[in-house]
């Protein structure tokens, strides 16, 4: 028997079907072991020796592999064809050797697609494990461990509120924070555009003013309204004739097939997928044999695949759409690693596969791969120049015509930020001397815009351009900074949170080298040298550790007050920018005497007055500037009923309002959708819950309020969500009754559904959405069909999609839990002791009915009542 090890059960099932009876294929369910999350797992003083620990949820699977290995003549390690796949194979081999069940014949097999031909061919071309790839994995894992486990304790002690730092995640976070700084520093510049709406031969077009009073204009030339109005008047009064018509042919070539990063970018632009969702869906497609391996930097396709793509193009289009020679692409990405194929369909005769997210992503991959081998698009760009009689003013109109679509008939790449200046409209046929009709002239005011915030697509693109991290790790890196609440996303754009900005500032001030883009990219180069056999992995670690440990120890020795003082100076321009009136930006706006400075608290950094405790002015770290709006104890006025003062304050969980003092004080959080907090709003919020009225059927009150998950209606233990805070106070009886009825019909009548701790996408087999939820007996993960309890040492917020799928699959494999015998019946009949005992042990056979016939034993059993209670208790448990 030949034992084959792959990562996933879906992959194992498919491959076993291809290989036949002589092979047994088992899944490792991803990585089987890792470095324990504790100090000492990597020991630099002992030559970077590492301790490995079996994942708690992999015990059963590793035992199954070990048991199968005992009777195997040959072990074939067929994990994914990359560095992580090599590492999983290495771990499996090491575990089996440690358990003394490793077969003598151990071979490594890789394939780029899960099709019968590819898999069976790969089995005839085995090789040894690649030690260079294993060394690169060990170096990367040790590097990330040493970075995180050395730096994180420094953060916990010197920067309250910080959770963790990572070699790549901290640099990705810095990109987002740096962009936030660029946006804040940006000063918009006013400019005007003047354009004429014209028509010729029944076709309308727009011509822009490009020369005024004999001077050529660029975008910012007209900077104020007066000049714009003079220019508009000149165009309105001028008689413009066509001076020249210039037509230029233009070709557009197709983009290469997808790599990991370009797939993540396009799926974000066109499908709205996050990077992690893209990888999850692509993994499913790969394991189903629909596409080639989805973790790759390569843009080339196998010659047989190119032939298949060209055949598919010929079947669907005329011969003009097929170039004479196949297109050959070269990888341009910095630090491109293993030379895998690009991501493509395994069968170009199938233009559709699956449904839902799988179908949409497959369609994207299929079209991109096919388009990559199609003819160029032929376009024609026409520029028409019009000049007035004085020769001082000039208009220009541009248009683009597609003469032959070529690859555009199948696919066009998306853009992150489209330019408003792009002219793609059609123009009427014009010749020199023509005088188009002038219908209208406009002068529009504009302002220059700051650089756009990163989307997932543009962040992945920037990381790849800088050579930071690896495309296969971008999804996990981005997910970490989201999970740590260092960033938030709004309309698919990243915003730096207070904690993320503070952490980045701390690292820039005390560890500038290790969050430098060049250093992180250079480290990737060195890791590639290890995987290529050009550098020794322990030498790389030694060079890194020597300087990093010294720097960490140096910062650890600083007092928290010294750290805060250094950050106060480092962030001075952000926290205390110059005021327009020239007054001291650090002067306390409340007492007018104390000076403001950065302070560190239990829950993070904040700005406070030096006259504390006499002056209790504070403001959150994320409220730069120095206005009193951010401080505590801002009086909003007096409550008309009690005469007590209503005060706006800022606490651990954000701003709130308070009426009165001490234990009797009434408080209410300030919802985010209230733009301007007034006394009227404060009185309304403090008066919640609001009684809408009595339900016409039950006679019980319907109330409106704001809870942990937002505004809602409540009636007799049933709930309905409201869209915003205003609806809490505006919703009437008819609307409230209707909303509650709709919520009941949707299944939300019993109680408000608990928000999931984490959502991990669709399960590859069941298709149900995987959620991590807080249950009555602890956190669990579910796909809507199977619930699996999380291991005790597993933090729910850190659970990955791979781990979740493993837990669900293992629970599903066990089948439904056996129903326990009804405890009450067993406890009620004390005489038949044997029956109760049998049920407690899970034996439901009717043999226990013979017990009453043996009266003597029954009496003895009855005499000892304590054991009977124990039996009943067992049955109840």
Q: Which residues pair with 647 in a beta bridge?
A: 635, 658
CA–CA–CA angle 328, 331, 334 (5° rounding): 170
Residue 341 is encoded by which pair of tokens?
């194929």
- What is the Cα–Cα distance from 514 to 552, expressed in whole angstroms? 11
- What is the Cα–Cα distance from 126 to 349, expressed in whole angstroms? 30
Strands 74-77 and 2-6: parallel
Given 286, 293, 321, 353, which residue is catalytic? Answer: 293
Residue 709 is encoded by which pair of tokens?
């998950």
Which string of DSSP letters, residue by residue, matches 121-134? HHHTS-B---HHHH
SS3 105: strand
Q: How many residues make up the chain in this entry?
A: 877
Strands (E), 627-678: 634-638, 645-651, 654-659, 666-669
SS3 249: strand
- What is the Cα–Cα distance from 457 to 160, expressed in whole angstroms? 32
438-475 burial string, b = 16+ CB within 10 Å, else e? beebebeeeeeeeeebbbbbbbbbbbbebbbbbbbbbb
Long-range CB pairs of 751-758 (<8 Å, 24+ gap) are: 751/717, 751/718, 751/719, 752/707, 752/709, 752/712, 752/719, 752/721, 755/709, 757/796, 757/797, 758/483, 758/796, 758/797, 758/799
386 class by beta-carbon count within 10 Å (0-12 exposed, 13-18 middle, 19+ buried): buried
Residue 101 is encoded by which pair of tokens?
């069940």
Q: What is the phi/psi pair of residue 92, to 5°?
A: -65, -45
- Using CA atoms, how far residue 508 sits from 41, 152, 161, 515, 765, in Å, is 28, 15, 17, 7, 45
- What is the Cα–Cα distance from 806 to 8, expressed in whole angstroms? 9
Q: What is the phi/psi pair of residue 861, to 5°?
A: -65, -40
The two most distant CA atoms of the chain are separated, in Å, by 128
| 293 annotated active-site | yes
Residue 598 is encoded by which pair of tokens?
């950065």
Residues 6 or more apart from 601 whose CB is under 8 A from it?
A: 160
In the DSSP assignment, the letter for residue 355 is S
Token pair 């409540």 is at which residue? 714
Residue 820 is encoded by which pair of tokens?
């326990």
- What is the Cα–Cα distance from 396 to 210, expressed in whole angstroms? 6
Helices (H), 769-846: 801-814, 823-828, 833-840
SS3 246: strand
In the DSSP assignment, the letter for residue 269 is I
Q: C-alpha 780: how far from its chain's center?
A: 21
Residue 603 is encoded by which pair of tokens?
């829950």
Q: C-alpha 425: how far from its chain's center?
A: 37
Residues 6 or more apart from 491 whose CB is under 8 A from it?
A: none
- What is the Cα–Cα distance from 552 to 557, expressed in whole angstroms? 9
Q: Are 708 and 671 in contact (CB under 8 A)?
A: no
Q: Which residues pair with 595 in a beta bridge?
A: 587
Find, among 311, 320, 483, 296, the residue nearest to 405 by Cα.
320
Q: What is the phi/psi pair of residue 731, to 5°?
A: -65, 125
Give catalytic residues, as residue numbers: 293
């Amino acid at each position: 028997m030949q034992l084959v090890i792959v990562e996933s059960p879906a992959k194992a099932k498919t491959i076993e079907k291809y290989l036949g009876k002589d092979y047994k294929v088992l899944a490792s369910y991803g990585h089987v072991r890792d470095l324990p999350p504790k100090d000492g797992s990597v020991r630099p003083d002992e030559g970077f020796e590492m301790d490995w620990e079996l994942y708690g949820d992999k015990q059963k699977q590793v035992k199954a592999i070990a048991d199968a290995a005992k009777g195997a003549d040959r072990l074939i390690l067929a994990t994914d064809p990359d560095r992580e796949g090599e590492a999983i194979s290495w771990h499996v081999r090491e575990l089996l050797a440690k358990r003394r069940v490793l077969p003598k014949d151990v071979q490594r097999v890789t394939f780029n697609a899960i099709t019968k031909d590819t898999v069976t061919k790969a089995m005839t071309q085995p090789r040894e494990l690649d030690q260079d790839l294993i060394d690169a994995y060990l170096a990367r894992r040790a590097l990330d461990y040493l970075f995180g486990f050395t730096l994180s304790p420094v953060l916990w002690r010197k920067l309250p509120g910080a959770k963790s730092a990572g070699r790549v995640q901290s640099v990705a976070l810095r990109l987002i924070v740096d962009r936030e700084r660029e946006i804040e520093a940006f000063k918009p510049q006013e400019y005007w555009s003047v354009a004429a709406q014209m028509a010729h031969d029944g076709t309308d077009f727009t011509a822009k003013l490009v020369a005024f009073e004999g001077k050529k204009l660029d975008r910012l030339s007209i900077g104020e309204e007066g000049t714009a109005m003079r220019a508009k008047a000149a165009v309105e009064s001028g008689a413009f004739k066509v001076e020249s018509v210039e037509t230029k042919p233009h070709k557009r070539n197709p983009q290469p097939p997808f790599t990991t990063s370009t797939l993540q970018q396009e799926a974000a632009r066109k499908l709205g997928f996050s990077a992690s969702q893209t990888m999850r869906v692509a993994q499913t497609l790969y394991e189903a044999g629909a596409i080639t391996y989805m973790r790759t930097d390569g843009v080339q396709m196998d010659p047989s695949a190119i032939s298949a793509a060209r055949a598919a193009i010929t079947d669907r289009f005329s011969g003009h759409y097929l170039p004479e020679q196949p297109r050959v692409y070269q990888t341009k990405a910095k630090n491109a690693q293993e030379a895998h194929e690009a991501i493509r369909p395994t069968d170009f005769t199938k233009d559709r596969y699956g449904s839902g997210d799988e179908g949409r992503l497959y369609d994207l991959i299929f079209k991109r791969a096919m388009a990559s081998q199609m003819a160029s698009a032929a376009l024609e760009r026409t520029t028409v120049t019009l000049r007035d009689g004085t020769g001082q003013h000039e208009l220009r109109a541009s248009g683009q015509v597609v003469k032959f679509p070529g690859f555009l008939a199948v696919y066009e790449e998306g853009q992150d930020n489209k330019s408003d200046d792009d002219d793609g409209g059609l123009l009427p046929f014009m010749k020199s001397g023509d005088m188009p009709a002038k219908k209208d002239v406009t002068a529009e005011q504009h302002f220059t815009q700051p650089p756009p915030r990163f989307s997932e697509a543009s962040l992945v693109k920037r990381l790849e351009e800088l050579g930071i991290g690896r495309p296969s790790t971008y999804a996990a890196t981005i997910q970490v900074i989201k999970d740590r609440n260092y960033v938030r996303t709004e309309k698919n754009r990243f915003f730096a949170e207070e904690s993320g900005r503070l952490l980045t500032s701390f690292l820039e001030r005390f560890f500038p080298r290790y969050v430098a883009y060049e250093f992180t990219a250079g480290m990737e180069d060195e890791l590639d040298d290890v995987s290529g056999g050009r550098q020794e992995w322990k030498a790389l670690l030694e060079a890194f550790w020597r300087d990093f440990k010294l720097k960490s120890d140096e910062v650890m020795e600083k007092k928290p007050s010294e750290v805060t003082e250094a950050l106060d100076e480092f962030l001075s321009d952000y926290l205390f920018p110059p005021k327009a009136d020239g007054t001291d930006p650090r002067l306390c706006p409340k007492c007018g005497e104390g000076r403001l400075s950065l302070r560190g608290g239990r829950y993070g950094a904040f700005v406070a007055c030096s006259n504390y405790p006499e002056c209790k002015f504070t403001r959150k770290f994320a409220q730069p500037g120095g206005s009193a709006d951010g401080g505590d104890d801002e009086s909003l006025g007096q409550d008309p009923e009690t005469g007590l003062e209503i005060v706006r304050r800022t606490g651990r969980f954000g701003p709130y309002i308070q009426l009165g003092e001490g234990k009797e004080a009434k408080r209410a959080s300030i919802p985010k959708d209230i733009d301007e907090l007034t006394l009227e709003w404060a009185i309304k919020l403090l008066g919640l819950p609001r009684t809408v009225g009595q339900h016409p059927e039950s006679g019980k009150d319907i109330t409106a309020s704001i809870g942990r998950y937002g505004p809602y209606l409540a009636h007799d233990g049933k709930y309905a969500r409201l869209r915003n805070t205003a609806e809490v106070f505006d919703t009437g009886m008819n609307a409230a009754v209707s909303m509650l009825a709709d919520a009941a019909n949707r299944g939300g009548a019993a109680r408000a559904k608990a928000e999931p701790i984490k959502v991990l996408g669709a399960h590859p087999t069941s298709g149900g959405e995987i959620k991590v939820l807080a249950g009555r007996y602890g956190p669990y993960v579910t796909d809507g069909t199977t619930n699996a309890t999380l291991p005790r040492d597993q933090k729910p917020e850190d659970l990955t999609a791979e781990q979740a799928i493993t837990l669900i699959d293992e629970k599903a494999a066990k089948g439904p839990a056996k129903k326990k015998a009804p405890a009450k019946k067993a406890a009620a009949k004390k005489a038949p002791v044997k029956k109760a005992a049998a049920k407690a042990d899970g034996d439901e056979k009717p043999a226990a009915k013979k017990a009453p016939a043996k009266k003597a034993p029954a009496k003895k059993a009855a005499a000892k009542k304590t054991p009977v209670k124990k039996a009943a208790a067992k049955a109840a448990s």
